């Protein structure tokens, strides 16, 4: 997410240039102009908007005051957020691990390797899934069914 503040209007821009402060609503009541806070989903969308402003330049004054780019959330952060959404998420996770463990136990190493994009060895993946399964079922990490 990319956010920016844009000041429109000759008087509002002059106020910003003279004070280095974005005009607040009370100030805008007294002078000509407006301040908007835009959010863009991608850099490309932001760049297109900025290009349109450049094409508009000369007809009315404006200032782009700031850009704030929120970095994409990591997978770890997204998983933690999802886990906090309620009891059903835990049920789905538990069942997903059950199904995953069953599925990869029947797969050959090459298929497991491809499934996980080659990020680690199939034996390590199976071991990690078993530990997660055991923890979700309140079993010792090294427990293996017979």
Domain ranges of the chain: 2-69, 75-136
- Mean confidence (pLDDT) of the chain: 87
The dihedral region occupied by 67, where left means phi > 0, alpha psi between -120 and 50, and beta the remainder, is beta
Are the beta carbons of 129 and 135 closer than 8 angstroms? no
Tell me the pTM. 0.48
**Cα–Cα nearest to 67, from 23, 16, 20, 5:** 5
CA dist 22 → 57, 98, 135 (Å): 20, 55, 53
The pLDDT assigned to 77 comes to: 80
Are the beta carbons of 56 and 43 closer than 8 angstroms? no
Q: List, for residues 2-40, the tens digit of each pLDDT value.
A: 889 999 888 999 999 999 999 988 888 888 888 999 988
Residue predicted with more confidence, 69 or 32: 32
Residue 95 has pLDDT above 90, yes or no: yes
Q: List, for residues 96-135, the tens digit of each pLDDT value.
A: 999 999 999 999 999 999 999 888 899 999 999 999 999 9
């Amino acid at each position: 997410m990319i956010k920016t503040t844009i000041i429109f209007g000759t008087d509002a821009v002059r106020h910003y240039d003279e004070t280095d402060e974005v005009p607040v609503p009370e100030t805008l009541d007294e002078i000509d102009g407006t301040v908007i806070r835009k959010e863009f989903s991608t850099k490309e969308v932001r760049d297109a908007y900025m290009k349109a402003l450049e094409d508009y330049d000369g007809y009315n004054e404006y200032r782009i005051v700031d850009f704030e780019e929120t970095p994409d959330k990591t997978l770890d952060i997204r998983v933690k957020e999802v886990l906090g959404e309620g009891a059903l998420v835990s049920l789905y996770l538990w069942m997903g691990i059950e199904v995953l463990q069953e599925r990869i136990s029947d797969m050959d190493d090459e298929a497991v390797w491809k499934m996980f994009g080659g990020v680690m060895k199939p034996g390590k993946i199976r071991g990690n899934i078993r530990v997660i399964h055991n923890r979700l079922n309140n079993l010792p990490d090294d427990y293996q069914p017979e």
